[in-house]
Structure formats: structure tokens, C-alpha cells
Amino acid sequence: MPSQPPKRALVVIDVQNEYFERGCLPIEHPPRTRTLPNVAAAMDAARQAAVPVVVVQHHAAKGAPLFQPGTHAAELHEAVAGRPRDHLVTKAFPSAFAGTDLAEWLAARHIDTLSVAGYMTQHCVASTIFEGMHRGFTMEFLHDASGALSYANAAGRASAEDIHRVLSVVFHSSFAAVASTAAWVEAVQQHQPLPRDNLVLSNRRALEMPAR
């Protein structure tokens, strides 16, 4: 018997002006000029396919240097704010589930698959993907509708490109099906799941690769 088609929701995480304004947290890789149009395209495709769209907005505690409620920087970017949505989640922690009504809202609509886009790959996106998988959802990640920042601290240095690439590989190993926005739109239109991978095969392929 064929499996049931995915019951999806698109979760658009923290597409806020903070990531686009000078002096804040500019997304570096993939470039915002590419990822933002893909976020918009995913929202439009979801609307056309009757896939619910959940928009997530981060509000930090009073006194924090970023994401202060009531400021322009903390507002949703116009590309997201100007598009229809089915639910708005306001969060104070990295995961969109923590301290919000997201899980209850999804359960009431019998959603079993979450397609995640937005910012940042290594922070709120990763937290939501990990928690969603642990809660039993099938997770999907639109790798070209998300983006990362570079880091340097006492533990070392990592470019935005390395962070985004490594996390995409880690996600696809067992946490989420990773795909381009175009591939995701096609899967949505065909009511099909995205192809998935697993940890064992991911590791075996890596061991078979010649050393650089």
C-alpha cells in the first residue's frame, strides 16, 4: 500500500530586519540576495498548494543588544511581512517550539512534516530542526532559503560557508531531508516526500572518498 502524502507546514524562521541592516547580523552565506527570494518563493508555493505557513519572529529579553521588540530591526522583513501566513509564533529561545504554542498548533492540524527556511542556519534553524525531529516530525530543510554567519571565538574560527555546508550535511545525515527550494516546490506540487539519507550511509560514502 502506498504511503500517505506528507501533511506539511512551511516554517519561516526569523526573517527579520536584524539580518539585513548595517551594524546588525548580516547573513553571509548563501548571500541574502539569493536566500530571501527563495524564502518568498517557498511561501508563495506553499500558499498555492494549501500548505500552511508559520512565520516565526524572535524577540529578545529587555536590554539585549539585538531583536528588541518595538524596534525596526526586530520587525519582519517586508518580503515575509507582506505575504499571507496562517500562524505567527513569537519566541524568546532559539527553537521555535520552546515557550510557544507551535506544537499545539501543528497537532491540531495533524501536521507531520515541517519544512524549515529562514535564519540562522546554525542557531534558530538548527535548534528547530533538532527539536522537531525529536518530537517526531519529519523535517525538511531548504538549504538555499536559509543562511549563516561566520564565527570566531575561543574555540576557533569558521566561515559562514563552512558552517552552512557542514550543518546541511549533518542535517541530511539523519535529522532532515535537505533540498533546494526548487526541488521542495516540485515535491509539494506532487504531494511527495523529499528523499532522505541516513547516518551510516553518509559515513560510509565519506570513508570511500579519496584523501585530499
Average pLDDT over residues 39-58: 98
C-alpha cell at position 191: 504531494
Place of cell 547573513: 27
Tens digit of each residue's pLDDT (9 = 90 or more) over 88-146? 999 999 999 999 999 999 999 999 999 999 999 999 999 999 999 999 999 999 999 99
Q: Return the number of other C-beta atoms located less than 10 Å from residue 136's C-beta.
A: 7
Q: Which CATH architecture has domain 8-208?
A: 3-Layer(aba) Sandwich (3.40)
Residue 195 pLDDT greater than 60, yes or no: yes
- The model's confidence at residue 1, banded by pLDDT at 50, 70 and 90, is very low
Tens digit of each residue's pLDDT (9 = 90 or more) over 147-188? 999 999 999 999 999 999 999 999 999 999 999 999 999 999
> What's residue 65's pLDDT?
87
Name the CA radius of gyration of the chain, rounded.
17
In the chain, where the domains are located? 8-208
- The model's confidence at residue 24, banded by pLDDT at 50, 70 and 90, is confident
- Give yes or no for a contact between 100 and 128, defined as CB atoms under 8 angstroms apart: no
Q: Where are the beta strands (DSSP E) in the chain?
A: 8-13, 53-58, 87-91, 113-119, 138-147, 151-153, 156-158, 177-179
Q: Return the number of other C-beta atoms located less than 10 Å from residue 156's C-beta.
A: 7
